[in-house]
Amino acid sequence: MRKKIIAGNWKMNNDFEQGLKLASEVNNMVKDEINADVQVVICAPYIHLASVGKLLSGKVALGAQNCYTKKSGAYTGEVSVEMLKSVGVSYVIIGHSERREYFNETNQFLAEKVNIILENGLTPIFCCGETLKQREEGIHIDFVNSQLTDSLFHLSPEQFTKVVIAYEPIWAIGTGVTASTAQAQEMHEKIRNHIASKYGASLANEITIQYGGSCNASNAPELFACADIDGGLIGGASLEARKFVDVIKAMK
């Protein structure tokens, strides 16, 4: 059975004290209010990770928003997977559209990140998605499939089962625009079918595929009810504990 995962991506928000307060509130609310079999993840900025990790328990795991491809060395400003693991990180977001756009991260570079995350026993949350222009041109499915192929299809079947996919239509991130339920389900199904073309239907049906893109408590119930949507990568709605937990509650 596929794991249901709701991950909050704080991005570059919350100073240290704000981050501790938010993490504590979410952890307590999840403990008190969430009975469903859902894995919750808080993906905080680097400065928060060690302290936030000590506040989390039960169904709330610690996630990082990025990592580097090397184990150690003269890479000023970068953070290795080993460092993340040492403070209790379990999940690592890679390939977010903002990093692809602002930091020119390529599919090949992300393949290296996938490798080192898996080597250290952590779970990569691999983001993929298309621009509005690509969707309007009708190449969005091929584009997303190429992201998966170039960054993930070198993995063995066993390795691939340890990857979480996050589909994020770039045109819906932080815009207030959400893909329709039909659009989201269609792309999630296409992603699963593409995985099946390489690894078989049985394995593809085990993979968690999250939706990311202006997901909130209002639209989450309809999105999460779709056959191929197994959770969410939540941005803005994860910055307030009540809003985030209400999104989590939508996952049955």
Count of beta carbons in the 10 Å neighbourhood of residue 177: 13
Closest by CA position to 9, among listed 168, 230, 161: 168
**Contact partners, residue 93, CB within 8 Å, separation at least 6:** 7, 9, 43, 63, 64, 65, 66, 124, 125, 127, 166, 233
Query: Among this protein's residues, is 98 annotated catalytic?
Result: no
Q: Is residue 168 annotated as part of the catalytic site, yes or no?
A: yes
Bridge partner list, 44: 64
Which is catalytic among the residues 96, 140, 188, 194? Answer: 96
Q: Residue 107's closest CA among 64, 69, 173, 152?
A: 152
**Rounded Cα distance, 229 and 240, in Å:** 23
Q: Six-digit token pair at 185? A: 């389900």
Beta-sheet strands, E only, within 143-230 = 164-167, 209-211
At residue 158, what are phi and psi to the nearest 5 degrees? Answer: -60, -40
Question: Could you say which of 98, 105, 130, 168 is catalytic?
Answer: 168
Whether the Cβ atoms of residue 187 and residue 167 lie closer than 8 Å to each other: yes
Distance CA 210, CA 124 (A): 12
Locus of tokens 């993930």? 152
**Active centre residues (catalytic):** 96, 168
